[in-house]
Amino acid sequence: MKDFKTLFSLIIVISYYFEYGEGQRILSIKDFIIDTNHTIIDYSQAFQEAWKGLCEDETPNGSALVIRKNETYTLQPSTFRGPCVSSNIHIQINGKLEGPRKPIYWKNKENRSWLGFKDVEGLVINGSGVLNPHGEAWWKSVSLSKRPTTISFASCMDIVYNGLHHINSPRNHISIYGCTNATLSNLDISAPEDSPNTDGINICLSHRIQILDSSIQTGDDCVAITGGRGGSSDINITGVACGPGHGISIGSLGKDNERDDIVENVNVRSCSFTGTQNGARIKTWNGGRGLAKNILYENITLIDAGYPIIINQHYFDNKKKHYFDKSFLKESGVKVDNITFRYFEGTSSSEIPIKLDCDETENCHNITMEHINITSPTPGKNLTAYCKFADVSSSFVNIDVDCNTNEDHQPHMLSPLP
């Protein structure tokens, strides 16, 4: 019996260190709740006090804040700021965090995100818990510009975000802005297919970002990568199951005549698109400036994907300007160069699954297609490609991609701006 108790204690200790990290001080939100009558419906202040304890920890191993499985907390929009004394901060969410159920109950509406982390280094957020800001109440009642992101990381470094479930964001679920070295993995992100602008993960002005082994089902891009004035680079996306949604997109780039809107060195591998509006997409605005270069989409599985391969250098908001108003179609200044689509396999719901709508002045350069096998779910139905002003090299592609035979020089609007 003594040996059994010793073994049991050893298992508990090993489990403790594996889950929270050896030597970390464990904090609970309950330690920071002042109200002993348990009438609090907003725990924002308790979370700010807990963050202060994490951020100011001077011990080598830092502290861990643990939200346990049976715990549910409602928070108002909150920003957790650095720089911190500690560069080893751990937040484990196994319970549920919720936002107020209606926009009228939200405070700090000027916040661009519900939960924001800024200027933080060495942050780990993981667990099996749920983040639910009740975004469905925002979709029809509040304009896009005033809707918050669920969680944002701004000017952060060395971030790990793992295992969490996101439900119904008011806008995009996760925003990575101005960050370096971030790994997001094993996430489950979901919102209805018709929910507006509910991107899964938006990346801007960031470098060395990894997105791994996640399921993303939304009403907009599963992942969208934009450059900003400092560019985004070295982005790796592997093992993402996308759908429904608008695909994994580079861009849009060059909006509002943005200068130096650059995205380069992006690898998208071993991903799937199921019932998506698009698949592998690059989209640039007319009149902008920038670059999309060294982009690879490889080992892609398609299940009734709308437009599996798209490059669109004439992207704009057709809700504001009629598409055939030629005065609006300025010369594109965003360069598209060295783009590879390799090992695509599956079905497309579109009759034209490959669309390369490039600019007559700028063109698309060094486009490579290899081992592409896209078929219709309808047996015997032939599929075609549309290609204009693109320099394409193709091999083992079951759809003829001929950029010299399309006589229609009018650019095609491939999909409306979400």
The set of catalytic residues is 246
Residue 280 φ then ψ, to 5°: -90, 115
Could you tell me which of 369, 389, 295, 291 has the C-alpha nearest to residue 336? 291
What residues contact residue 320 under an 8 Å CB cut-off, 6+ apart? none
Residue 126 φ then ψ, to 5°: -145, 180
- Distinct helix (H) and strand (E) counts, the chain: 2, 29
C-beta separation of 344 from 310 below 8 A: no
What is the C-alpha to C-alpha distance for residues 268 and 237, in angstroms, rounded to an integer?
Answer: 5
DSSP string, 348-370: ESSS--EEEE--TTT-EEEEEEE
What residues contact residue 126 under an 8 Å CB cut-off, 6+ apart? 90, 91, 92, 93, 160, 161, 162, 163, 164
